[in-house]
Amino acid sequence: MMLSLKFWRLSFRRRLTDLGLLFGVWSVAWAIGSTPLLTAQTVDEKKSDVPANWIETLPSDFRSSILWLADYETGNLDQWSIPTSRDPGGGVLLTDDENVTARATESIKHSGRYSGEATIRNAIRAKNGSKAVRFMRWATKAYDQGGVELPTEGYYSTWVYLPEAYDPKKQAPWDPGDGGWWNVFQFKSNDEKNESQSAWTLNIQKDPQSQHHSCYLYSHINTKKSWSAAETVKIPVKQWFHLEAFVKVSAEEQGQIEIWLDGVSIIRAENVRTAVNSQRPNIVWGIGNYTDHIAGGKKLGTATIYFDDSLISTKPVAPFVR
Protein backbone atom coordinates (compact mmCIF):
# COMPACT_ATOMS: atom_id res chain seq x y z
CA MET A 1 0.00 0.00 0.00
CA MET A 2 2.95 2.34 0.50
CA LEU A 3 5.35 3.31 -2.27
CA SER A 4 8.85 1.91 -1.98
CA LEU A 5 11.55 4.35 -0.86
CA LYS A 6 13.44 3.84 -4.12
CA PHE A 7 10.41 4.68 -6.25
CA TRP A 8 9.57 7.65 -4.03
CA ARG A 9 13.06 9.11 -4.48
CA LEU A 10 12.89 8.70 -8.25
CA SER A 11 9.46 10.33 -8.32
CA PHE A 12 10.77 13.11 -6.07
CA ARG A 13 13.75 13.91 -8.30
CA ARG A 14 11.67 13.73 -11.47
CA ARG A 15 9.19 16.27 -10.12
CA LEU A 16 11.92 18.68 -9.12
CA THR A 17 13.38 18.46 -12.63
CA ASP A 18 10.02 18.80 -14.38
CA LEU A 19 8.80 21.70 -12.29
CA GLY A 20 12.09 23.46 -11.58
CA LEU A 21 10.83 24.14 -8.08
CA LEU A 22 12.51 23.63 -4.75
CA PHE A 23 9.90 24.25 -2.06
CA GLY A 24 10.74 23.98 1.61
CA VAL A 25 7.78 21.62 2.01
CA TRP A 26 9.63 18.98 -0.02
CA SER A 27 12.50 19.17 2.49
CA VAL A 28 10.00 18.52 5.25
CA ALA A 29 8.53 15.59 3.32
CA TRP A 30 12.03 14.15 2.81
CA ALA A 31 12.79 14.53 6.52
CA ILE A 32 9.70 12.64 7.63
CA GLY A 33 10.06 10.02 4.93
CA SER A 34 7.39 8.35 2.85
CA THR A 35 4.44 8.03 5.21
CA PRO A 36 1.05 6.33 4.71
CA LEU A 37 -0.66 9.68 5.26
CA LEU A 38 1.31 11.38 2.46
CA THR A 39 0.64 8.53 0.05
CA ALA A 40 -3.00 7.99 1.00
CA GLN A 41 -4.11 11.59 0.84
CA THR A 42 -2.34 12.75 -2.32
CA VAL A 43 -5.16 12.80 -4.84
CA ASP A 44 -3.44 14.42 -7.85
CA GLU A 45 -0.88 11.65 -8.38
CA LYS A 46 -0.52 9.94 -11.72
CA LYS A 47 -2.40 6.65 -11.88
CA SER A 48 0.84 4.64 -11.59
CA ASP A 49 1.53 6.33 -8.24
CA VAL A 50 -1.78 5.30 -6.63
CA PRO A 51 -1.39 2.78 -3.76
CA ALA A 52 -2.29 -0.77 -4.77
CA ASN A 53 -5.81 -2.04 -4.24
CA TRP A 54 -5.43 -3.97 -0.99
CA ILE A 55 -7.88 -6.69 -1.99
CA GLU A 56 -5.80 -7.49 -5.05
CA THR A 57 -2.74 -8.05 -2.83
CA LEU A 58 -4.44 -10.87 -0.89
CA PRO A 59 -3.52 -14.50 -1.67
CA SER A 60 -5.37 -16.01 -4.61
CA ASP A 61 -6.84 -18.85 -2.54
CA PHE A 62 -8.42 -16.29 -0.23
CA ARG A 63 -9.68 -14.12 -3.10
CA SER A 64 -11.47 -17.16 -4.51
CA SER A 65 -13.54 -17.23 -1.29
CA ILE A 66 -14.88 -13.66 -1.75
CA LEU A 67 -18.64 -13.62 -2.32
CA TRP A 68 -19.00 -9.83 -2.59
CA LEU A 69 -16.76 -6.79 -2.23
CA ALA A 70 -16.74 -3.00 -2.23
CA ASP A 71 -13.35 -1.43 -2.91
CA TYR A 72 -15.09 1.89 -3.78
CA GLU A 73 -12.89 2.26 -6.86
CA THR A 74 -15.99 2.97 -8.96
CA GLY A 75 -15.83 6.44 -7.38
CA ASN A 76 -19.34 6.02 -5.93
CA LEU A 77 -21.32 3.64 -3.70
CA ASP A 78 -22.75 1.57 -6.56
CA GLN A 79 -21.10 -1.63 -5.31
CA TRP A 80 -23.49 -1.52 -2.35
CA SER A 81 -26.60 -0.47 -4.21
CA ILE A 82 -26.05 -1.76 -7.81
CA PRO A 83 -28.30 0.86 -9.46
CA THR A 84 -28.31 -0.98 -12.81
CA SER A 85 -30.24 -3.85 -11.22
CA ARG A 86 -33.98 -4.21 -10.66
CA ASP A 87 -33.32 -6.13 -7.43
CA PRO A 88 -29.86 -5.11 -6.20
CA GLY A 89 -29.62 -7.24 -3.03
CA GLY A 90 -28.40 -4.28 -1.00
CA GLY A 91 -28.46 -0.53 -0.72
CA VAL A 92 -27.40 2.68 1.00
CA LEU A 93 -30.05 3.51 3.59
CA LEU A 94 -30.35 7.00 5.10
CA THR A 95 -32.28 8.12 8.17
CA ASP A 96 -33.06 11.87 8.17
CA ASP A 97 -31.86 12.81 4.67
CA GLU A 98 -31.39 16.46 5.61
CA ASN A 99 -28.78 15.61 8.24
CA VAL A 100 -26.86 12.68 6.75
CA THR A 101 -24.72 12.15 3.65
CA ALA A 102 -23.07 9.14 2.05
CA ARG A 103 -20.56 9.24 -0.79
CA ALA A 104 -17.26 7.97 -2.14
CA THR A 105 -14.31 10.26 -1.44
CA GLU A 106 -10.64 10.67 -2.35
CA SER A 107 -9.76 12.59 0.83
CA ILE A 108 -8.90 9.59 3.02
CA LYS A 109 -8.53 5.98 1.87
CA HIS A 110 -7.00 2.72 2.92
CA SER A 111 -5.95 1.73 -0.61
CA GLY A 112 -6.63 2.72 -4.20
CA ARG A 113 -8.17 6.15 -4.87
CA TYR A 114 -11.50 6.03 -3.05
CA SER A 115 -13.18 5.09 0.21
CA GLY A 116 -16.76 5.30 1.46
CA GLU A 117 -17.69 8.25 3.66
CA ALA A 118 -20.66 8.33 6.06
CA THR A 119 -21.52 11.60 7.84
CA ILE A 120 -24.26 12.40 10.33
CA ARG A 121 -25.18 15.82 11.70
CA ASN A 122 -27.42 17.23 14.42
CA ALA A 123 -27.35 14.03 16.53
CA ILE A 124 -27.60 15.76 19.89
CA ARG A 125 -28.80 14.24 23.20
CA ALA A 126 -31.49 12.15 21.44
CA LYS A 127 -33.69 15.25 21.16
CA ASN A 128 -33.40 15.33 17.35
CA GLY A 129 -33.97 11.62 16.80
CA SER A 130 -31.67 9.02 15.27
CA LYS A 131 -29.33 9.86 12.39
CA ALA A 132 -28.03 7.02 10.28
CA VAL A 133 -26.04 6.13 7.19
CA ARG A 134 -26.14 2.37 6.59
CA PHE A 135 -24.42 0.45 3.82
CA MET A 136 -26.36 -2.84 3.67
CA ARG A 137 -26.11 -6.17 1.82
CA TRP A 138 -28.67 -8.98 1.98
CA ALA A 139 -27.46 -10.90 -1.09
CA THR A 140 -24.08 -11.82 -2.61
CA LYS A 141 -24.94 -9.84 -5.75
CA ALA A 142 -28.04 -8.47 -7.43
CA TYR A 143 -30.79 -11.09 -7.40
CA ASP A 144 -31.47 -10.59 -11.10
CA GLN A 145 -27.75 -11.16 -11.75
CA GLY A 146 -27.54 -14.49 -9.93
CA GLY A 147 -27.28 -13.27 -6.36
CA VAL A 148 -28.32 -15.43 -3.42
CA GLU A 149 -28.92 -14.75 0.27
CA LEU A 150 -25.89 -14.40 2.50
CA PRO A 151 -24.39 -17.71 3.68
CA THR A 152 -25.39 -19.54 6.85
CA GLU A 153 -21.71 -19.30 7.83
CA GLY A 154 -19.64 -16.40 6.57
CA TYR A 155 -17.10 -13.66 7.28
CA TYR A 156 -17.86 -9.94 7.03
CA SER A 157 -15.08 -7.38 7.13
CA THR A 158 -14.08 -3.78 6.43
CA TRP A 159 -11.36 -1.25 7.14
CA VAL A 160 -12.53 1.71 9.25
CA TYR A 161 -11.11 5.19 9.91
CA LEU A 162 -12.24 7.57 12.67
CA PRO A 163 -10.95 11.12 12.04
CA GLU A 164 -11.95 12.37 15.50
CA ALA A 165 -12.23 10.97 19.04
CA TYR A 166 -16.02 10.77 18.98
CA ASP A 167 -17.97 10.00 22.13
CA PRO A 168 -21.59 8.75 22.11
CA LYS A 169 -22.01 8.77 25.90
CA LYS A 170 -25.04 10.73 27.12
CA GLN A 171 -24.85 12.71 30.32
CA ALA A 172 -27.63 13.47 32.80
CA PRO A 173 -30.11 15.07 32.59
CA TRP A 174 -30.22 14.42 28.82
CA ASP A 175 -29.77 10.66 29.00
CA PRO A 176 -33.12 8.97 28.22
CA GLY A 177 -31.86 5.82 29.96
CA ASP A 178 -29.70 4.07 27.37
CA GLY A 179 -26.38 5.69 28.35
CA GLY A 180 -25.49 6.37 24.74
CA TRP A 181 -24.76 4.08 21.77
CA TRP A 182 -22.99 4.27 18.42
CA ASN A 183 -23.63 1.50 15.92
CA VAL A 184 -20.94 1.08 13.21
CA PHE A 185 -21.36 -2.61 12.24
CA GLN A 186 -24.57 -4.62 12.39
CA PHE A 187 -26.52 -7.72 11.45
CA LYS A 188 -30.25 -7.82 10.82
CA SER A 189 -32.62 -10.70 10.05
CA ASN A 190 -35.93 -10.91 8.22
CA ASP A 191 -38.88 -12.22 10.22
CA GLU A 192 -41.86 -14.35 9.09
CA LYS A 193 -43.39 -11.27 7.44
CA ASN A 194 -40.10 -10.63 5.60
CA GLU A 195 -39.59 -7.48 7.64
CA SER A 196 -36.06 -6.66 8.71
CA GLN A 197 -35.33 -6.87 12.44
CA SER A 198 -32.16 -5.87 14.29
CA ALA A 199 -30.29 -8.95 15.51
CA TRP A 200 -26.76 -7.79 16.49
CA THR A 201 -24.93 -4.48 16.61
CA LEU A 202 -21.26 -3.72 17.16
CA ASN A 203 -20.99 -0.42 19.00
CA ILE A 204 -18.02 1.85 19.70
CA GLN A 205 -17.73 3.58 23.06
CA LYS A 206 -15.23 5.89 24.75
CA ASP A 207 -14.08 5.30 28.31
CA PRO A 208 -14.35 8.54 30.33
CA GLN A 209 -11.31 7.68 32.51
CA SER A 210 -8.78 6.31 30.00
CA GLN A 211 -10.25 8.21 27.02
CA HIS A 212 -9.66 5.07 24.94
CA HIS A 213 -12.19 3.67 22.47
CA SER A 214 -13.41 0.08 22.63
CA CYS A 215 -16.34 -1.88 21.25
CA TYR A 216 -19.06 -4.24 22.43
CA LEU A 217 -21.71 -6.47 20.88
CA TYR A 218 -25.39 -5.96 21.67
CA SER A 219 -28.31 -8.24 20.81
CA HIS A 220 -31.90 -7.76 21.95
CA ILE A 221 -32.98 -11.16 20.55
CA ASN A 222 -30.95 -13.09 23.16
CA THR A 223 -31.40 -13.44 26.91
CA LYS A 224 -27.93 -12.07 27.47
CA LYS A 225 -27.80 -8.70 25.75
CA SER A 226 -24.19 -7.50 25.76
CA TRP A 227 -20.72 -8.94 25.15
CA SER A 228 -17.64 -6.77 25.72
CA ALA A 229 -14.05 -6.89 24.54
CA ALA A 230 -11.20 -7.03 27.02
CA GLU A 231 -10.26 -3.72 28.57
CA THR A 232 -6.85 -3.84 26.88
CA VAL A 233 -8.45 -3.68 23.43
CA LYS A 234 -8.17 -0.16 22.03
CA ILE A 235 -9.72 1.17 18.84
CA PRO A 236 -7.42 3.79 17.30
CA VAL A 237 -8.33 7.28 16.13
CA LYS A 238 -6.84 8.86 12.98
CA GLN A 239 -5.56 5.46 11.91
CA TRP A 240 -7.10 2.73 9.76
CA PHE A 241 -8.17 -0.39 11.66
CA HIS A 242 -9.80 -3.61 10.50
CA LEU A 243 -13.04 -5.15 11.77
CA GLU A 244 -14.17 -8.65 10.88
CA ALA A 245 -17.10 -10.77 12.07
CA PHE A 246 -17.83 -14.46 11.65
CA VAL A 247 -21.52 -15.36 11.87
CA LYS A 248 -23.13 -18.78 12.06
CA VAL A 249 -26.80 -18.22 11.32
CA SER A 250 -29.37 -19.86 13.60
CA ALA A 251 -32.80 -18.88 14.86
CA GLU A 252 -32.24 -21.24 17.79
CA GLU A 253 -29.57 -20.94 20.45
CA GLN A 254 -27.08 -22.69 18.20
CA GLY A 255 -25.58 -19.70 16.43
CA GLN A 256 -22.24 -18.00 16.85
CA ILE A 257 -20.69 -14.58 16.30
CA GLU A 258 -17.05 -13.63 16.69
CA ILE A 259 -15.31 -10.26 16.21
CA TRP A 260 -11.71 -9.59 15.19
CA LEU A 261 -9.93 -6.24 15.52
CA ASP A 262 -6.83 -5.92 13.33
CA GLY A 263 -6.71 -9.68 12.93
CA VAL A 264 -7.06 -10.51 16.64
CA SER A 265 -10.18 -12.14 18.09
CA ILE A 266 -11.65 -9.85 20.76
CA ILE A 267 -15.28 -10.97 21.30
CA ARG A 268 -16.91 -14.37 20.90
CA ALA A 269 -20.54 -15.30 21.59
CA GLU A 270 -21.55 -18.96 21.26
CA ASN A 271 -24.86 -20.80 21.50
CA VAL A 272 -26.80 -17.67 20.65
CA ARG A 273 -29.57 -16.66 18.25
CA THR A 274 -28.37 -14.79 15.18
CA ALA A 275 -31.63 -14.94 13.17
CA VAL A 276 -35.32 -14.44 13.98
CA ASN A 277 -37.16 -16.65 11.46
CA SER A 278 -36.97 -20.33 12.44
CA GLN A 279 -38.61 -21.37 9.14
CA ARG A 280 -36.04 -19.55 7.02
CA PRO A 281 -33.01 -18.40 9.05
CA ASN A 282 -31.24 -15.54 7.30
CA ILE A 283 -28.85 -12.67 7.90
CA VAL A 284 -28.34 -9.12 6.57
CA TRP A 285 -25.03 -7.26 7.01
CA GLY A 286 -24.45 -3.55 7.37
CA ILE A 287 -21.78 -1.01 8.25
CA GLY A 288 -22.34 2.66 8.86
CA ASN A 289 -22.71 5.59 11.21
CA TYR A 290 -25.82 5.39 13.41
CA THR A 291 -26.69 7.09 16.70
CA ASP A 292 -28.90 9.75 18.29
CA HIS A 293 -26.06 11.54 20.10
CA ILE A 294 -22.40 12.09 19.28
CA ALA A 295 -19.79 14.46 20.73
CA GLY A 296 -16.02 14.79 20.56
CA GLY A 297 -15.80 16.15 17.02
CA LYS A 298 -15.35 19.68 15.78
CA LYS A 299 -19.10 20.25 16.11
CA LEU A 300 -21.50 18.68 18.59
CA GLY A 301 -23.78 16.18 16.88
CA THR A 302 -21.58 15.73 13.79
CA ALA A 303 -19.46 12.65 13.04
CA THR A 304 -17.85 11.15 9.93
CA ILE A 305 -16.63 7.58 9.44
CA TYR A 306 -14.67 6.22 6.48
CA PHE A 307 -14.82 2.63 5.21
CA ASP A 308 -12.68 0.85 2.65
CA ASP A 309 -12.04 -2.61 1.21
CA SER A 310 -15.25 -4.19 2.54
CA LEU A 311 -15.73 -7.94 1.99
CA ILE A 312 -18.06 -10.89 2.43
CA SER A 313 -16.16 -14.17 2.21
CA THR A 314 -16.28 -17.84 3.19
CA LYS A 315 -12.75 -17.66 4.67
CA PRO A 316 -11.36 -15.24 7.27
CA VAL A 317 -9.24 -12.32 6.11
CA ALA A 318 -7.91 -11.77 9.65
CA PRO A 319 -4.60 -13.64 9.05
CA PHE A 320 -3.67 -11.11 6.36
CA VAL A 321 -4.18 -7.92 8.37
CA ARG A 322 -1.85 -8.56 11.31
Q: Indicate the residue type of 78.
A: D
Same domain, 41 and 59: no
Same domain, 109 and 156: yes
Same domain, 215 and 118: yes
Global pTM reads 0.84
Same domain, 23 and 171: no
Same domain, 27 and 61: no
Kindly report, residue by residue over 90-117, the tens digit of the pLDDT. Answer: 999 999 999 999 999 999 999 999 999 9
Same domain, 307 and 197: yes
Same domain, 265 and 300: yes
Same domain, 185 and 75: yes
Mean pLDDT for 153-167 is: 98
Q: Given this model, what pLDDT does residue 274 score?
A: 98
Mean pLDDT for 281-298 is: 98
pLDDT of residue 40 exceeding 90: no
Looking at the structure of the chain, the number of domains it has is 2
Instruction: Kindly give the residue spans of alpha helices, DSSP state H, lying in 78-218.
Output: 78-81
Q: How far is CA 318 from CA 21, 40, 71, 259, in A?
A: 44, 22, 17, 10
Share of the chain above pLDDT 90, in %: 81
Q: For residue 229, name the pLDDT band (cuts at 50, 70, 90).
A: confident
Structural domain boundaries, residue 310: 54-320
Q: Given this model, what pLDDT does residue 51 score?
A: 64
Same domain, 153 and 291: yes
- Cα 287 to chain centroid distance, Å, stands at 5
Same domain, 163 and 195: yes
Q: Given this model, what pLDDT does residue 30 score?
A: 35
Longest dimension (CA), the chain: 71
Q: Given this model, what pLDDT does residue 147 score?
A: 97
Same domain, 148 and 264: yes
Same domain, 92 and 14: no
